Amino acid sequence: MNRTTDDDRTLPPALADLARTEIDYADGEGIDFEPYDAFDSAEETTDWLRQWTGNPGLDGDAYRVFGQNGAGGLAAVWYGRPGRPLAEQPVVFMGSEGECGVVAGNLSDFLWMLADGCGPLEAVLYEDREPRPDAALTALAERHATTPRRPARAVIAEARAEFPTFTEDIDALCR
pLDDT in tens, 34-77: 999 999 999 999 999 999 999 999 999 999 999 999 999 999 99
The beta-carbon contacts of 50-53 under 8 Å, at least 24 apart in sequence, are 52/94, 53/170, 53/173, 53/174, 53/175
What is the rounded CA–CA span in Å between residue 88 and residue 82?
10
pTM for the whole structure: 0.94
- Give residue-wise pLDDT tens across range 88-103: 999 999 999 999 999 9
Specify the pLDDT at position 4.
43
3-46: per-residue pLDDT in tens? 444 457 889 999 999 999 999 898 888 899 999 999 999 999 99
* CB-based contact 56:32 (threshold 8 Å): no
Q: What is the pLDDT of residues 126-149, one digit of tens each?
A: 977 888 999 999 999 999 999 999
DSSP H or E stretch at residue 78: strand 74-78
What are the residue boundaries of the structural domains of the chain, listed by start? 13-168
